[in-house]
Structure 1
């Protein structure tokens, strides 16, 4: 069986013998949605999960529940991304984000025996760093869905790549069948928007034309703009108190905004009617926190807040502007493309569609395929069924290792000198922006010091093409090779090989004296 799992809790599955794609659309508290919220509600000691998904996030205000017993934890996946700490959620002191990921998995799939003979394909946003895959491996192993940390029963795909594979299956519907056809996929999700430009190759395989890109500008950032609007209307202190003491009602109000305002909004003023938000009905607890001038105004208005066309448009525009900029960047980097596909839940927004089509009218085919919200999970499933569908990828980083070199007084900084005569430098193996085949590898010959019994490779990554030193670079991990026989001194050449065949990096080292080959495993650097 192939099992595709989204970074949110969406999933799909298929049997190899009868590869019908089955997408789950039933969750606690909601039916008909492809995915649910990655939210967990614990008991007061944060030991036991009481609820997950939408019921943990936004129960109705009328449902009696003491606020001090309500402990929802959400947005913890943001810890996997390269975000400043100020933009990451604050977690309770005794909760770690990796435990949250593990608990979320185990709560949804407590029967771990189900996964014994299952290939899992896990999708992640394009902008997540390399280390996120190793962290997720650790979490999934701790959740016992795989029986070894390096198990090949767990594979990764980026969200835009999975979406591109899904779009590959519908190209015929748009008469895009010629080899060499290029198309841009824009995956507009809740938290992130991810983009990739792909080329159709012989045998219905895909090549990547330029670096996949993405940013945190999904539809939930419109919700953030709504909260800013409410702070202006009722006072910032009132909204802060609501968040601290009646969080469930805050989230219910946001969900009502999505249902009544965000989802139906078309961007055409002719279609719009002023929305009346009755605080007493939608968020009754908010009244007790509103004071001063705001309270006087709302009492005169019978506690009703109006959302005008201009108000709602102003919530959408900053988010859509970022998406337009991302698309422009992809088009500049990848050149002309024949078509653009919009996928993901946010792609169903009529306003977003019209803004993209108006801005990029020179692209004749801008389409939203059927079931755009299911594109990623179904594409990931198709990838699991046929992994050779991807022929090339473009590297997002420059990869290299730390090597010891002779110190050059003319060019090397004095403060980096080691033991008087040496300096550690960055040795490039593969450069950012290079298109690599899935069976391509990068290698070189290295030699240990005379009496050492181990040869250590410290792997670094950089977003720059030209790096000289490792200082300031992100250390991805270490690869250590045992070399117990020291009688040949330095004459023990080792061929180190880095491979990007699938989404995860693998490495091998071959002792050219003995012929023995070592499979090197990463030690995660946090």
Structure 2
């Protein structure tokens, strides 16, 4: 018999009905660049912001960068944080604070050595909050983001339903609906969206239904193979020539110049790179021009060689190709794996800033030459515009495929020969993972999954129902590796005895889960809402 018992608990609350909504705002908080768009629910006209401090008008995004002063107060943000860094260091010397970049990676499931170091006293949550606040719009990731958005005063109630989350590829898939007819995509056809950003590449398959509704036939996928990895490969190439110590010193002591090196590489090489070598002009990387401070850190024999070459490093087509190819190869593998999961794909859409790369486009078209490959309209703004379009019509998404397995914790009697002896508690029970919904299944919006539980002790007067999620398909115990706690619901248990059934229900809403725990003895129902980890 399944049982439940108290452990620890917490709650999150939301209003039962949304507040009056007049404007929908979509925020694309990216690893390297961010943007936002908005639309009136009356006109449904989506307007993408192109007015950023320190950026020429017309740019859909600005840098996800912050510049703090010595008291950890934001002095500049966006593109100005990089310009401001150079100015600050010129005026105050190299001890002034450096810009903070790539802090979104702290939300990702990657090794710590790949996450950027933050200034002492600065947490990822504070950096995210500060950045969202500076934009001035007057699972783990969604929980952190909701708290940061609340702290940034973008919402008045931390549990409000007026804040909804969507994955970047899903938002892009919604945005692509507008051009499906142009590509002769009909009801029943399936298309793949490949969102190529700065930090990550995310993929989702969607099937077009009637009335522009979308279903998700396969589990989405992704990887940390965005365009910043091309920059990293370029920097590693320079390290091989001038020495790792020289680049490390430049980064640490002259960050403005280090950042300028990357900016020049992106503008002069990366953004213009194609698969046609005849289009490429050798890039003369002039150390004296781009990063003069680097000279003092270069040691022999590299120093003698560079002095003979007038401090110029020639970067050829074959070099840049090597910067791109390992990253592109990962993207090709991700696409290939997604295509294996479906019988037919009518078109592959590329979105995101990296999706504009002519080299990436050409290699994808060459590798998948039996498929139609297209770049979505406004690829850089596709995610943020799609988020607004989804907010205007949240019925667009008909089904999703679960990326996690969900369940509830319950104590059951230890079974000799079946359960592990080390998991047995002093009362002879084992905490089991009771499955509610399994990873990989396709669920409709508002689909429910239920399970009945009973108390562990006849005199138990309260129950603390714990909900968990995991990437595993068939977990057995709640304390296994990769089991994450979703939340708790506390309920009263009137009367006595073991025959006091409790009905636990998990309902997958549009972008959040609603859990209900119903005491079938007194018919009282308890509800709580959790962010949908998708």
What is aligned with 1:6? 28
Aligned to 2:254: 246
Deviates more, 1:215-224 or 1:333-342: 333-342
The structure-2 alpha-carbon separation of the partners of 1:62 and 1:80, relative to structure 1 and needing over 3 Å to count, comes to closer
Query: What pairs with 1:123-138 in structure 2 (closer than 5 Å)?
Result: 130-138=139-147
- In the alignment, which residue of structure 2 is the partner of 1:124? none
Report the alpha carbon displacement of residue 453 of structure 1 after superposing the two structures with TM.
3.1
- Listed as ranges, the matches of 1:110-509 within 5 Å are 114=138, 130-176=139-185, 178-363=186-371, 365-449=372-456, 450-470=458-478, 471-483=480-492, 485-509=493-517
- Separation in 1 of the partners of 2:338 and 2:59? 30
Distance of 1:59 and 1:486 partners within structure 2: 64
Contact 1:184–1:195, Cα closer than 8 Å, also in 2: yes
Give 3-state SS (helix, strand or coil) of 2:495's partner: coil
RMSD: 1.8
92-101 vs 417-426, which moves further: 417-426
Structure 2 alignment gaps of length 5 or more: 1-22
Cα pair 1:242 1:285 within 8 Å, conserved: yes
Task: Please name the residue that 1:55 is paired with.
Answer: 80
Q: 2:11 maps to what in 1?
A: none
What SS class does the counterpart of residue 313 from structure 2 fall into? strand
Identify which of structures 1 and 2 has the higher relative contact order when contacts are C-alpha pairs closer than 8 Å and 6+ apart: 2
For residue 149 of structure 1, report the CA deviation from its aligned partner. Answer: 1.9
Distance 1:347 1:473, change over 3 A: closer
Pick the aligned partner of 1:33 from 56, 59, 73: 59
Query: Quick check: 430-439 or 272-281, which moved more?
Result: 272-281
Q: Give the Cα separation in 2 of the matches to 1:518 and 1:509.
A: 5
Following superposition, the deviation at residue 84 of structure 1 comes to: 1.1
Question: Which moved further from structure 2: 56-65 or 146-155?
Answer: 56-65
Once residues 144 and 6 of structure 1 are traced to their aligned partners in structure 2, the CA distance between those partners, rounded to angstroms, is 17
CA distance in 1, matches of 2:503, 2:29: 36
Higher alpha-carbon deviation: 235-244 or 138-147: 138-147
1:523, distance to aligned residue in structure 2 (A): 11
TM-score, normalisation: structure 1: 0.92
Verify: 1:94 aligned to 2:102, yes or no: no
SS at match of 2:452: strand
How far does residue 62 in structure 1 lie from its aligned partner after superposition?
Answer: 7.9
What's the CA shift for 1:448?
A: 2.6
Instruction: Give the superposition deviation at 1:18.
Output: 1.2
- Residue 351 (structure 1) shift: 0.8
Write the distance in 1 (CA, Å) between the matches of 2:427 and 2:433: 19
Taking structure 2 as the reference length, the TM-score comes to 0.91
Unaligned runs of 5+ in 1: 115-129
Question: Cα–Cα, structure 1 residues 61 and 151, in superposed 2: closer, same or farther, change >3 Å?
Answer: closer
Say whether the 8 Å CA contact 2:513–2:530 is kept in structure 1. no
How many residues are treated as equivalent by the alignment? 502
**Alignment partners' CA distance in 1, 2:469 and 2:49:** 37
Query: 277-286 or 500-509, which moves further after superposition?
Result: 500-509
* Distance (Å, rounded) in 1 between the aligned partners of 2:362 and 2:441: 34
Provide the C-alpha distance between the structure 1 equivalents of 2:330 and 2:250, rounded to a whole number of angstroms: 30
